[in-house]
Structure formats: structure tokens, C-alpha cells
Chain A
Amino acid sequence: MAEQSALKDLLFRMADDELIIAHRNSEWTGLGPILEEDIAFSSIAQDKLGQSYALYRILETLGEAPADTIAFTRDESAFRCCQLVEYPIGGYDFSLMRHFLFDTAEVLRYEMLERSSVEMLARLATKVRGEIKYHVFHAHTWIVQLGSSGSEESHARMQSALNEVYPLAFSIFEPSAFEEELIAEGIFAGENALRDRWVEALAPVLEKAGLKVPEVSDITAHYGGRRGYHTEYLQPLLNEMTEVFRIDPSAEW
């Protein structure tokens, strides 16, 4: 099949994004700002992990190694996640803002994929629709609360988190070498189309939150992840994530 490598590349990009953001968000488990939010954020992280698993399973049916092997044994340079998801969790403001910007792109990506010519992908997109709708609901609620209904401090912190995370978020839309093929084959309408929809979707929420979209002089500044060039933060994350697997690959829990 001519479109296999294009499709696989898209699946790896999506699955690796989900796996790494899941791991990052799960770092809040037990340390969240309040118990109930700790539970909510951890639960969302679990959902992301589940989505990465579903995507790796599709890759398996296309002839790739089993999910655990893909997730736990690849070198850093084989990962296709964007740089946004690699950054350490920072404060809760940083993590919430990343959650908001990433998940807004994610919900739109899956929305586009519901019309994909690849049936497995379209079916998965339809299946996770409700789950992601909740993730976005969670993100929107917090962004608007802390942006406009909280205190002066919470507003200032959300604005500075937005200033920090927004330029990084463009790394999500780093185009792959297969863009034209994906679009022509009807697999996915492409990163540029997604980015335009994302910018449009953010506006009303940020307005409601009273937050100003920062200027971004170079949207390619944090590109590289989709080609295997990562930040200094990914390798330590992989070391931690794969620690048990490396000690005992047959461990069950």
C-alpha cells in the first residue's frame, strides 16, 4: 500500500504525543493542588495512555511491534512526539495551560479524523469523542475560572503560562514529509488546516478568560520532534518511564 508509511507516520506522531503527555500529566498524581483535581487530572492522564495504546494497536495491525515494545524499547530519536509534550510539568499553571492548548488541538484532530478514509482511525476517533470532550471541558473550565473569576494573581499566572506555552504549542503542527499524501489519500486534512482551526477555537475561550494571545514571531522555533529531534527533557522521561521494563521486561502488574 502506497499510503502505509504516511499513515504510520501520522499514527506514531499521535500515539507518541498521547504517551508522553500521559506520562507528564500522571506526574501530578498524588501531588495535585487539591484531592478532587488530583483525581481528575490523573484520570485524564489515564485516558491519554489508553488512546496511545489504541493507536499503537493500530500500528501493530499494520505490521509494527506490539504496543509495549514500541512504547518501552525505542530510542529517543525514534519518538515522533512534538516538543510541547516533553517539557517538565512545571507549576500547575504551566501544566493546565499545556493541557488546554494540547487538548484543544487534539479534539479538533480527532474531529477531522472521524472523516478519515482509514476506517480504523475513523472508528477510534468516533469512539473517543466523548472522552476528549470531557478533557476539553475540564481544561476550559479551569482556564476561564483562573483567568477571569479567580484573583489578580491567578489571572497573572495564567497569562504568563500562556505566554510561555503558546509558542511551544506550535510544535504540535510541525508538518511531516507526508502531508500531501495524507491529504490526497483522504487520511487526514493536514497540520496546516488543523492549526488554523486551533487558532480559531482558542479565541473565544481565551477571550472569556480575559487572556491575551501572545505574538509568535517564528512558529517553527520548536519544530524537530516529528523528525526525532527532541528537547533535553525527553530522555530523562524515557529513562523513568521504562525503568521497570528494563529491569524485568516480563514483569506483570
Chain B
Amino acid sequence: MTIQSLDPRIQRAEIPQDEESPMNPLPPLDQHETYEVFHMDKRGEQPVRVGSLHAPNPEIALLFAKEQYGRRSRTVSLWVVRTADIYMIGVEDADIFATTPEKDYREAKGYRVGGKITAFKRRNTVDNG
């Protein structure tokens, strides 16, 4: 006996109707490595990471990325990179950045030079005029 289906393709495949599943489940971790996908929707914009996918190598990852991340929204460019090739400071080490918001001396607003710049500009205008 084979599996009976309304789908003519399944009928043609003549899949035996055993009690056991015709397909054994894959052993854990027996799948392709993951790739991160970066998507650019306009020329000159930064590529934005939009998700990941499984693929056997970078060439095939690009093919899959085209379908999964470039089929609906406007796209001008796609990048893929092996997840394993991304070196990162992970969220578990986020405390490294904990005091950053307090260090406002690293921001331009910490410098009071507005007056000097205005004076410089005025002096230059007078010289050129």
C-alpha cells in the first residue's frame, strides 16, 4: 500500500504506507551552519542585519538570502556572513558599557567653544570683506 493523496504529485511518488514514519527525524545538530543576513534598501544606506538562515556555504547562503529577505521589500544589496565569523562582545558582558552614559565629557556638548567659533567666523568675514 502507498499513501493516498489528493495531490497528484504525492500519488506519483508512490510513498509506502508503513506504520513507521517514512522519514526518520534528523539527529540533533545535523543541519547547516547559520549565516547572518544584512539588507540594504537604498543605494548609499547602511546594510541592516535582518535575520539569519541555514546554509551549507556562503554562495548558497546568498541564494537563500535573496529569497527570504529580498523577495518582498525593496532591496538593492544583500550581504551574508557566517555567524561563527562574527566576533562580538555579547549581551552577557553589557556591564562593560554600564557607566558610558555618565561620561558626557566624551560628547561635543561638553565643550563650551560656541563663543570662540562665532568670534572666529566674524573675524574671517571682516577680513574677507
> Which residues from chain A sit less than 8 Å from chain B, CB to CB?
27, 31, 34, 36-37, 39-40, 43, 134, 137-138, 141-142, 144-145, 149, 240
Contact = CB atoms under 8 A, between A and B. Distances in A.
Query: Of residues B54, B56, B57, B63, which shows the largest number of chain A Cβ atoms within 10 Å of its Cβ?
Result: B63
Interface size class of B (residues with CB under 8 A): 10 to 19
B35 to A, nearest CB: 11
Contact of A37 (B13, B62, B64, B71): B64
A134 B66 contact: yes
Interface string B55-77: 11101101110111001000000
A149 B8 CA distance: 35
Contact of B64 (A40, A137, A144, A149): A40
A141 B8 contact: no
21 contacts: A34-B54, A36-B53, A36-B54, A36-B55, A36-B63, A36-B64, A36-B67, A37-B63, A37-B64, A40-B66, A40-B67, A134-B66, A138-B63, A141-B59, A141-B60, A142-B60, A144-B59, A145-B56, A145-B57, A149-B57, A240-B8
B62 to A, nearest CB: 8
B9 interface: yes
Contacts of B53: 36
Given A39-B64, A142-B63, 4 more contacts: A31-B9, A36-B67, A43-B67, A145-B59
Interface string B33-58: 00000000000000000000111110
Q: How would you classify the secondary structure of chain A's contact residues: helix, strand, loop or mixed?
A: helix
Contact of A36 (B8, B13, B59, B68): B68
A144 B63 CA distance: 13
Contacts of A36: 53-55, 63-64, 67-68
Contacts of A149: 57
Nearest to B65: A36
A34 to B, nearest CB: 8
B9 to A, nearest CB: 6
Q: Which 10 A-B pairs have the closest CB atoms?
A: A36-B64, A40-B67, A39-B67, A141-B59, A27-B9, A141-B63, A43-B67, A138-B63, A240-B8, A40-B63
Contacts of A34: 54
Nearest to A28: B9
Interface in B54-111: 54-57, 59-60, 62-64, 66-68, 71
